[in-house]
Structure formats: structure tokens, C-alpha cells
């Protein structure tokens, strides 16, 4: 705290930046929870740092400097949400498609994005807390992120501050400039919404990948690269989903997913696939590369994120957005 105050008083921007920079990763995760996008989160962090510098004289040391920054970041996110629509999830826009009568066109809507585990690990390492609440799986998994996108911005902020960061009602109210009664009311309404849309699996979540998750990813990669649709489908639960942003088309159930994989992925598109393992949102993931027929180069195609339920894959989310590969630091595939 003294270091922060001393850095701010003489207007030493370099010294101030040195103090706040170690908090960058965890603030980005906080903003990602609020906004559902890596790019939007980084923009909000940059805005947070700018606001913190211009308002540095307002920090009186009565609260922890970290909490002061989180308050600024939360308001930066709320301002962003006033300008932008909430991030969407395909199952919220349409029902499951017929695997023999569908369209794969992209929709120009803001889509929820995956978040690389390498950035989560960087945040935990910066605080020297591998199990820090900022990276806890139950509040970073895609199911949770998709569910909280349904919340109005203020409810989302209250939920993240109270449930994820474990802030008190008093501190949350002070950060958001609302009454404690308003915080309690917003949290109650947020919980009611989540209860209707979030899978009841939170007690089972673990921060580290399980043996089942690692095995499922390994087997999926092997089957996909062989072009073996039958072996891939055997890994799925009966009620599995295949979701493919930036399109609203998705498939439900092993039979329909099997038809789509056999006829489209390994049929029309051929078997020219390579996969590299990675991780996102504390879930097993992979970088998917495709080599067009007649081409000799594998090109970035999608980031795949798995939800593993027990020993079966309950959901495959294929983010067909090659621009995401940079955030995952995935190398070119040959």
C-alpha cells in the first residue's frame, strides 16, 4: 500500500505501472467473466489502468489497493456492456438442427469465447496461489460463462464480486455505488436465473484435469485424425451436444452428431485433419487444423473445448474462429 501511495503522489507513471502490472492477468480474467470475450477483457483492463492512473489521488488506502482496482475494472466492464450486446451461445438462439437439413452460415452476433488455461495459470502464478478463486473451475467453465451471460449487467457484476471473489455485501455495495439491500436483491435474482440454466454439477468440478478428461481428449484426437467417426461417437454421452460458434447450428444426441461427422466432417470435408491438445476454461481442449483437398498445408480451423461428464464427452464446442489461435499460442501444424 505504501508503495502504491508513494508511486502515485509524485506522478511517477513508470513506478505506478510497475505496481499495477502484476495484477493484469487476474484483472483480465475478472473482465472476461463480465464480458465473455478475450479481446473485450483486454480492452477493459487497458481502460482500468488508464482510469486508475488518472484517479490515483482518489486512492486513500482505506481499502486494499487490489479491491480498489477491481472496483474500477468492474465499472469499466459495466460501461462496456452498456455499449455492447451480451455474448451469445448457440443453444440460446435455436433448437437442435437436423443433420441432413441444416445451414452452417456464420451469424454476425457477439459470441462467447473460450479462455486459454495458459492465461489462467499465469494469473495464479502471479499471485503464487495455484487454487486462487480468480481461476477456480466452477466460475470459469463455459457452462457458467454461458449462464451468466443471461444476467443483466448489474446482476452479473454482483454475482461475480460476491460469489466468485467472495466479497462482502458491504464491499460490493461500495464498489458498485449501490445499497446493501440492492446487492442482496440482485444476488437473489441472479441465483434464481442460474438455477434454471446452469447444470447441477458444481460440486464435482475440479481445478486440475481428471484422468477421464485426459483420456477422453487423447482418444478424441486419435479418432478424429484417423477420420473414424464411429470411434469418436463412442466417446459421447447419449445426450451429447456439438456446438459450433459463430453459427447457431448445433446437434443434439449421438445419432445426429454421428450423421454430421460421417457425412460432413469426414465426408464432404475429407479426412485431412490434425489436432493439437490444449486447455481452455479449465476444460480439455484442442486446436483443430484442416487441410483442404489438394492443399499441402494444414490451416487453423477451430478451437475445440470438451465438457466431460464422468467417462463420456457431454459436449464439444467448436469455435470456428481461427483468430483465437494466437491467444492459445498454438504453433502452425504440418
Condensed to tens digits (0 to 9), the pLDDT of residues 159-215 reads 999 999 999 999 999 999 999 999 999 999 999 999 988 866 544 555 566 899 999
Q: Is 331 in contact with 255 (CB distance < 8 Å)?
A: no
* 265 Cβ contact list (under 8 Å, min separation 6): 229
Q: What is the pLDDT of residue 94?
A: 94
Q: How confident is the model at residue 289 (pLDDT cuts 50, 70, 90)?
A: very high
Average pLDDT over residues 244-251: 96
The radius of gyration of the chain from alpha carbons, rounded to an integer in Å, stands at 21
Average pLDDT over residues 221-237: 97
* More confident site: 321 or 86: 321
Cell of 187: 444476488
Average pLDDT over residues 103-126: 89
Q: Is 222 in contact with 214 (CB distance < 8 Å)?
A: no
pLDDT, one tens digit per residue, over 127-148 is 655 445 566 778 899 999 999 9
Average pLDDT over residues 10-31: 87
* More confident site: 6 or 309: 309
Find where cell 460440486 sits: 203
Go through the domains of the chain in sequence order and give each one's CATH number.
1-84 (1.10.1740.10), 211-328 (3.10.450.50)
pLDDT, one tens digit per residue, over 268-284 is 998 799 999 999 999 99
Average pLDDT over residues 231-258: 97
Q: What are the Cα distances from residue 275, in Å, to 226, 290, 307?
A: 11, 9, 17
- CA angle centred on 191, ends 189 and 193, rounded to 5°: 70
Dihedral, CA atoms, 108, 194, 129, 76, nearest 10 degrees? 50
Of the given ranges (55-64, 214-223, 279-288), which has the lowest mean pLDDT? Answer: 55-64
φ and ψ at 314, to 5 degrees?
-90, -20
Cell of 258: 454421428
* 26 Cβ contact list (under 8 Å, min separation 6): 123, 126, 127, 132, 134
Q: How confident is the model at residue 100 (pLDDT cuts 50, 70, 90)?
A: very high
Q: Is 281 in contact with 141 (CB distance < 8 Å)?
A: yes
Using DSSP bridges, classify how beta strands 236-243 and 312-319 pair: parallel, antiparallel or unpaired: parallel
CA distance 27 to 35: 12
Cα torsion angle, 74, 80, 81, 82, sign: positive
pLDDT at 125 over 80: no
DSSP 111: B
User: pTM of the entire structure?
Assistant: 0.91
CA distance 242 to 280: 17
CA distance 201 to 191: 15
Average pLDDT over residues 36-59: 93
Amino acid at each position: 500500500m505504501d508503495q502504491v501511495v508513494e508511486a502515485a503522489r509524485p506522478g511517477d507513471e513508470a513506478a505506478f505501472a510497475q505496481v499495477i502490472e502484476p495484477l493484469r492477468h487476474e484483472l483480465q480474467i475478472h473482465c472476461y467473466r463480465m464480458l465473455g470475450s478475450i479481446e473485450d477483457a483486454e480492452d477493459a483492463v487497458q481502460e482500468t489502468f488508464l482510469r486508475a492512473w488518472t484517479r490515483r489521488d482518489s486512492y486513500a488506502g482505506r481499502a486494499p489497493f487490489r479491491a480498489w482496482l477491481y472496483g474500477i475494472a468492474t465499472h469499466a466492464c459495466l460501461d462496456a456492456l452498456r455499449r455492447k450486446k451480451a455474448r451469445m451461445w448457440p443453444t440460446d438462439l435455436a433448437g437442435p438442427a437436423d443433420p441432413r437439413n441444416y445451414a452452417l452460415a456464420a451469424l454476425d452476433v457477439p459470441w462467447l469465447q473460450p479462455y486459454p488455461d495458459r492465461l489462467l495459470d499465469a494469473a495464479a502464478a502471479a499471485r503464487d496461489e495455484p487454487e486462487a478463486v480468480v481461476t477456480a473451475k466452477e466460475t470459469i467453465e463455459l457452462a457458467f460463462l454461458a449462464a451468466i451471460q443471461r444476467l443483466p449487467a448489474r446482476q452479473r457484476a454482483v454475482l461475480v464480486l460476491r460469489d466468485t471473489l467472495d466479497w462482502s455485501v458491504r464491499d460490493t455495495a461500495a464498489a458498485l455505488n449501490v445499497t446493501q439491500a440492492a446487492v442482496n436483491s440482485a444476488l437473489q435474482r441472479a441465483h434464481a436465473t442460474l438455477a434454471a440454466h446452469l447444470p447441477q454439477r458444481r460440486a464435482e468440478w475440479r481445478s486440475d484435469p481428471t484422468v477421464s478428461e485426459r483420456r477422453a481428449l487423447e482418444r478424441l484426437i486419435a479418432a478424429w485424425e484417423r477420420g473414424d467417426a464411429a470411434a469418436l461417437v463412442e466417446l459421447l454421452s447419449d445426450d451429447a451436444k456439438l456446438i459450433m460458434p459463430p453459427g447457431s447450428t448445433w446437434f443434439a444426441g449421438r445419432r445426429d452428431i454421428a450423421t454430421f461427422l460421417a457425412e460432413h466432417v469426414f465426408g464432404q470435408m475429407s479426412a485431412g485433419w490434425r489436432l493439437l491438445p490444449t486447455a481452455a476454461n479449465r476444460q480439455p481442449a484442442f486446436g483443430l487444423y484442416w487441410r483442404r483437398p489438394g492443399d499441402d498445408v494444414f490451416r487453423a480451423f477451430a478451437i475445440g473445448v470438451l465438457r466431460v461428464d464422468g467417462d463420456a464427452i457431454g459436449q464439444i464446442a467448436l469455435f470456428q474462429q481461427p483468430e483465437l489461435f494466437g491467444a492459445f499460442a498454438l504453433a502452425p501444424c504440418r
